[in-house]
Structure 1
């Protein structure tokens, strides 16, 4: 497992929560990317890494798909629960 070289960014609120939820489910980034593809969200490994590092903006469509795949709520990913 590689450690993050950069500090978390400030371009989204959900990155660290997505990473935590993904790891809690025992899911690798590659598996999450495959599920995103199945749900119609086109994202590459670099995009997901940047999303989790909070250095990339997140679209509303991506947010909903991530919540569904990770079996959590949008509010939870936004830190509102």
Structure 2
């Protein structure tokens, strides 16, 4: 397993969680890319690496597809939490 050579960027909130969920499932980047292609998301290996490294923005269609493929909620990808926080007015 290759370790990340650079610190995480700040262009998205989900990259580290995508990488974590993918690795926990024993899924390689190549497998995730193939499943994204099936869902109509055209992303190459460099783009996925940048997404996971949080040095690339994420589109809404990519967010939804990643959520479905990895079997996690969009909320978890965005916040690390399953339920939205309730705001007291």
* TM-score, scaled to structure 2: 0.89
Between structure 1 and structure 2, the one with the greater Rg is 2
Q: CA RMSD in A?
A: 0.7
Residues 1:36 and 2:36 are matched in the alignment? yes
What residue in structure 2 maps to residue 47 of structure 1?
47
Question: What is the Cα deviation at residue 48 of structure 1?
Answer: 0.2
Once the two structures are superposed, the pairs formed by residues 1-81 of structure 1 within 5 Å of their partners are: 1-79=1-79, 81=81
* TM-score, scaled to structure 1: 0.97
Question: What is the Cα deviation at residue 5 of structure 1?
Answer: 1.0
Give structure 2 stretches of 5+ with no counterpart.
Answer: 82-89
Structure 1 consecutive aligned stretches of length 4 or more whose deviation exceeds 4 Å: none
Does the CA contact (< 8 Å) of 2:12 and 2:57 recur in 1? yes
Q: How many residues align?
A: 81
